[in-house]
Amino acid sequence: MTEVSFLRTLAERLPDIGDDCAVVEIGATQVLLKVDMLIEDVHFRPGERTAADVGYRALARPLSDIAAMGGRPQFALVSLAVAPWTTEAWLTGFYDGLLALASRHNIRVVGGDLSHTSKLIADVFLVGQATRPLRRSTAQPGDLLYVTGPLGKQKWRFSPRLALGQRLARDPQVTACMDLSDGLALDLHRLAFASSLEARLTHVPVQKGAHLARALHYGEDYELLIARTGPWPNPPQGVIPIGRLVKGKQPGRVLLTGTRVPPVGYDHLKQT
Amino acid sequence: MTEVSFLRTLAERLPDIGDDCAVVEIGATQVLLKVDMLIEDVHFRPGERTAADVGYRALARPLSDIAAMGGRPQFALVSLAVAPWTTEAWLTGFYDGLLALASRHNIRVVGGDLSHTSKLIADVFLVGQATRPLRRSTAQPGDLLYVTGPLGKQKWRFSPRLALGQRLARDPQVTACMDLSDGLALDLHRLAFASSLEARLTHVPVQKGAHLARALHYGEDYELLIARTGPWPNPPQGVIPIGRLVKGKQPGRVLLTGTRVPPVGYDHLKQT
């Protein structure tokens, strides 16, 4: 069983799943819902990260999805299953890291669950609001593609692009957006596929010290991938054009200066 | 480190935590938020339960908290970290059980996360609405206490008391409510303590085949514990009077016909 095949099966039963966050209406408000797990020995090794680093990242990752939808995060719930090695000092450090980031973005941590298991798992649930949620499926033929920074050099304590995402949501020419968590190759494939388009990359900005394969396939960049219609005379600082979307016979196909880029991402090197 | 001592430390940093669900305002709507983990070898053993049973219960447990607050559940997100033994057939069964219960209560499963670890964990996040959220801290001296059924005989596929909870929320004489997940002794202590009152039990309804200690301390009843002011000529079917709340010098103290009942619950037999 591959994750992709199972997610396809699941998607048929749960038609709402597809964007970086779920979008639901509560009263007259468009509400974003997101959940994301951070797991020992999958996403981090305790000996290599401080407790505060783990807490920071457990919140930063789903925050990046709220950012990609142009949302404003409001509430968080934290489920934590601790491991036999977990001490009270570690837990305190974990919440230090998490609550510092929450405070920076005015997020209230309003609940959670605490239990124990063999490998530590932190599962963070976020509730946000969006005036115009930015989706993956709404890009148009001819839209230009952008990323919000160079790719390929993963930073553990990255800054979720919340202010930038909210600015993009106010720009009616921005047609689609998502965050780059699994690598440009796979994530651009997903955006193009969701919009029934092909992508033509002309430039992949590579972070100093990284290389092209890393920028395309390694993931965990947590920059935003943007599709936007028409010229953009004054893009926000850091935004870099990388190509365009076109009609084509193979929705989801990505070409880099004529060569096909396979939709292969981080931790999924076996299949598409 | 005990769970209770850590939760006390945490509660000081997160003053919103305390009721069965978090209550937040989104627009003009009072929204209930709840998350709950179901963990292999803590809450179930795979060989003893079908996949559908696990899926059912992963949703039923947090639903009971929505019920206790008088809420109407609307949206769910499901985080699942699968174990090495997990097959695609098991996953399908898990979602069969979960989605059948979701469908019964008109809950839309709108998202989730899927990863892997050594012991399976299902973490279910729920969003609901409540016109008048029923809390623990608002009971009054002299209120009578009730439970919604006999205690002590845990049923794996219990029915969350959603319709009953919503009916209680419409009754202005109902002053407080919570669900019985950790046993009447500990949960009644919590409600009385939160309301700065003592409790006097006159009757503990014991499920046929169970015994008093089980009814008091074993937990996982998932009935509702209700505090209500004044006489109740026509209580809903199944509701059983068990005693009353009084002023006292030791908030949270529970007496059963004069004898102190220690606030000891399921899986916490070491301390209060």
Q: In this predicted model, what pLDDT tens digit does every residue of B175-209 receive, in sequence order?
A: 999 999 999 999 999 999 999 999 999 999 999 99
Q: What percent of chain B has pLDDT over 70?
A: 91
Q: Coil, strand, or helix at residue B131?
A: coil
Q: Which two tokens stand for residue A22?
A: 């779920």
A 91-120 residues with CB below 8 A of B? 91-92, 95, 99, 108-119
Interface pTM, i.e. ipTM: 0.91
Q: Say whether pLDDT at A51 is over 50.
A: yes
Closest residue by Cα to residue A89 from A118, A43, A52: A52
Q: Are A124 and A99 in contact (CB under 8 A)?
A: no
What is the spatial distance between Cα B242 and Cα A96, in angstroms, rounded to a whole number?
43
Q: Say whether pLDDT at A239 is over 90.
A: yes
Q: What does the pLDDT read at residue B18?
A: 77
Q: Are B207 and B152 in contact (CB under 8 A)?
A: yes
| Strand partners for A129 | A31, A72
Q: Is A77 on the interface with B (CB under 8 A)?
A: yes
- Greater pLDDT, B170 or A268: B170
Q: Which residues on chain A are in Cβ contact (under 8 Å) with B115?
A: 37, 39, 42
Q: Is A40 on the interface with B (CB under 8 A)?
A: yes
Q: What does the pLDDT read at residue A271?
A: 38
Residues whose CB falls within 8 Å of the CB of residue A214, separated by 6 or more in sequence, listed in order: A151, A152, A153, A206
**Whole-structure pTM value:** 0.92
- The torsion of the CA quartet B91, B93, B97, B100, rounded to 10 degrees, works out to 100
Q: What does the pLDDT read at residue B9?
A: 64
What confidence category does residue A8 fall into, taking pLDDT thresholds of 50, 70 and 90?
low
Q: Is A61 on the interface with B (CB under 8 A)?
A: no
Q: What percent of chain B has pLDDT over 90?
A: 88
Q: Is B77 on the interface with A (CB under 8 A)?
A: yes
What is the spatial distance between Cα A92 and Cα A98, in angstroms, rounded to a whole number?
10
What is the spatial distance between Cα A19 and Cα A68, in angstroms, rounded to a whole number?
9
Selected for mutation to probe chain A from B25, B107, B108, B117 (highest A CB count within 10 Å) is: B117
What confidence category does residue B265 fall into, taking pLDDT thresholds of 50, 70 and 90?
confident
Inter-chain CB proximity B35 and A10 less than 8 Å: no
Inter-chain CB proximity A110 and B3 less than 8 Å: no
Closest residue by Cα to residue A227 from A187, A269, A183, A182: A187
Burial class (CB in 10 A: 0-12, 13-18, 19+), B260: exposed
Selecting from B9, B16, B125 the residue whose C-beta is nearest the C-beta of A108 gives B16
Residues whose CB falls within 8 Å of the CB of residue B171, separated by 6 or more in sequence, listed in order: B228
Q: What does the pLDDT read at residue A18?
A: 77
Over the stretch A153-212, which tens digit does the pLDDT of each residue have? 889 999 999 999 999 999 999 999 999 999 999 999 999 999 999 999 999 999 999 999
A 157-186 residues with CB below 8 A of B? none
Residues whose CB falls within 8 Å of the CB of residue A26, separated by 6 or more in sequence, listed in order: B26, B27, B29, B31, B74, B127, B129
What is the spatial distance between Cα B37 and Cα B59, in angstroms, rounded to a whole number?
9
Inter-chain CB proximity B10 and A95 less than 8 Å: yes
Q: Is B63 on the interface with A (CB under 8 A)?
A: no
Over the stretch A98-144, which tens digit does the pLDDT of each residue have? 999 999 999 999 999 999 999 999 999 999 999 999 999 999 999 99
Closest residue by Cα to residue A226 from A136, A150, A153, A142: A136
Quote the distance between the C-alpha of residue B124 and its chain's center.
14
What is the spatial distance between Cα A122 and Cα A36, in angstroms, rounded to a whole number?
8
* Cα of A157 to nearest chain B Cα, Å: 21
What is the spatial distance between Cα A148 and Cα A158, in angstroms, rounded to a whole number?
13
